[in-house]
């Protein structure tokens, strides 16, 4: 017994080192569970507040770019106004409203919520974006996030009362289901951890007809993003020698360097779909 105490006393610092290292690595590996437990509450709010203060200054210097983006967005929306379309027969009346039903009785599925980017990073290997909008302002977990020009930015992983953390496409765990505009082949968009604004598209067969400059869309297969939001354009096509797939490099539509305003997309039918899938899973398991 005495020897054990002597041992502990002699190597006390080394043991402290080991404990702290193991704890750090535990945090890295079990990132998600820890993240939910502690980060949502305290750390998120604290770092969020500091980031908001910094962003007040940073925002001022990017006003010009932000303005350009918003003007572009406005132009696109203005072109969709009903006054711009003339129909010879006005039997149906178009009402643009934000109620969940339109005049045809269709259920609203997607809702866009604007949010201010409070902090953003592109230099790390796992990048996150913080939004200055949280549960108190109707943001929820697992919603998709796009920039004003309809380019996919990421997915909300964590929400606190006034802030939300978005896992950007530039993250090792980021996986977005994607589709080619020409041909409609589906694949997955991931990031290789090197160059921001350059993504990789995997799982595209060599039989697919692709060319440089082709557009890659969201597939609409997931509950996070609607169909047809731009992810990027094909920049480089590398045939993978060991498999039957291409390795495709994309130039991302969203410019991750100067995000200031983004839109979160809420899916009103998400619960229904997830419940169905859960039931189906239960049935097959039994």
Minimum CB–partner distance for residue 221 and another protein (Å): 26
Residue 264 to residue 139: CA distance in whole angstroms:
8
Of 9-17, 134-142, 146-154, 208-216, the window that binds another protein (rule: CB under 8 A) is: 9-17
Asked if 130 and 164 count as a contact pair (C-beta separation under 8 A), the reply is: yes
Rg value, the chain, Cα: 23
Minimum CB–partner distance for residue 153 and another protein (Å): 15
Minimum CB–partner distance for residue 50 and another protein (Å): 8
If you search the block for the tokens 């997955």, which residue do you land on?
A: 188
If you search the block for the tokens 């702290």, which residue do you land on?
A: 20
Residue 178 to residue 144: CA distance in whole angstroms:
14
- Looking at the Cβ atoms of 175 and 270, the one nearer to another protein is 175
- Looking at the Cβ atoms of 131 and 180, the one nearer to another protein is 131
Q: Got the DSSP string for 218-239?
A: E-S-SSSS-TT-EEEEEEEEEE
Minimum CB–partner distance for residue 187 and another protein (Å): 20
Of 84-92, 104-112, 187-195, 237-245, the window that binds another protein (rule: CB under 8 A) is: 187-195
Minimum CB–partner distance for residue 213 and another protein (Å): 22
Residue 28 to residue 276: CA distance in whole angstroms:
33
**Binding positions for another protein, 11-30, rule CB under 8 A:** 12-14, 16-17, 20-21, 24-28
Work out which of 125, 138, 182, 281 binds another protein, going by CB under 8 A: 125
Work out which of 97, 192, 236, 271 binds another protein, going by CB under 8 A: 192
Report CA 5 to chain centroid distance, whole Å.
52
**240 is a contact residue toward another protein (CB under 8 A):** no
Asked if 149 and 72 count as a contact pair (C-beta separation under 8 A), the reply is: yes
Work out which of 66, 109, 128, 208 binds another protein, going by CB under 8 A: 128
Asked if 226 and 110 count as a contact pair (C-beta separation under 8 A), the reply is: yes
Report CA 236 to chain centroid distance, whole Å.
23
Minimum CB–partner distance for residue 47 and another protein (Å): 5
Strands 215-218 and 110-120: unpaired
**43 is a contact residue toward another protein (CB under 8 A):** yes
Report H helices in the chain.
2-10, 12-29, 31-34, 44-61, 63-78, 270-285
Minimum CB–partner distance for residue 112 and another protein (Å): 24
Q: Which residues bind another protein (CB under 8 A)?
A: 12-14, 16-17, 20-21, 24-28, 31, 34-35, 39, 43, 46-47, 50-51, 54, 119, 121-126, 128, 130, 158, 165, 172, 192-196
């Amino acid at each position: 017994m005495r020897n054990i105490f002597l041992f502990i006393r002699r190597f006390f610092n080394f043991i402290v080192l080991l404990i702290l290292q193991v704890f750090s690595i535990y945090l890295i590996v079990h990132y998600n569970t820890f993240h939910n437990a502690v980060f949502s509450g305290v750390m998120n709010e604290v770092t969020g507040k500091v980031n908001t203060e910094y962003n007040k200054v940073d925002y001022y210097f990017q006003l010009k770019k932000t303005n350009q983006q918003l003007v572009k967005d406005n132009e696109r929306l203005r072109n969709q106004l009903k006054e711009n379309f003339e129909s010879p027969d006005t039997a149906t009346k178009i009402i643009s409203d934000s109620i969940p039903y339109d005049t045809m009785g269709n259920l609203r599925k997607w809702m866009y919520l604007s949010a201010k980017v409070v902090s953003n990073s592109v230099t790390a290997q796992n990048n996150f974006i913080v939004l200055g909008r949280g549960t108190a302002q109707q943001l929820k977990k697992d919603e998709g996030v796009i920039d004003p020009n309809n380019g996919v930015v990421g997915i909300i992983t964590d929400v606190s009362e006034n802030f939300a953390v978005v896992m950007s496409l530039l993250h090792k765990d980021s996986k977005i289901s994607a589709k080619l505009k020409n041909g409609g082949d589906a694949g997955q968009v991931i990031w290789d951890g090197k160059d921001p604004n350059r993504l990789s598209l995997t799982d595209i067969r060599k039989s697919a007809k692709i060319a440089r400059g082709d557009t890659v869309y969201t597939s609409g297969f997931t509950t996070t993003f609607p169909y047809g939001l731009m992810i990027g354009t094909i920049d480089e096509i590398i045939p993978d020698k060991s498999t039957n797939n291409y390795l495709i490099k994309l130039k991302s539509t969203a410019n991750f360097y100067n995000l200031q305003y983004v839109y979160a997309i809420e899916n009103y039918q998400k619960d229904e779909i997830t419940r169905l899938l859960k039931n189906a899973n239960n049935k097959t398991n039994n």
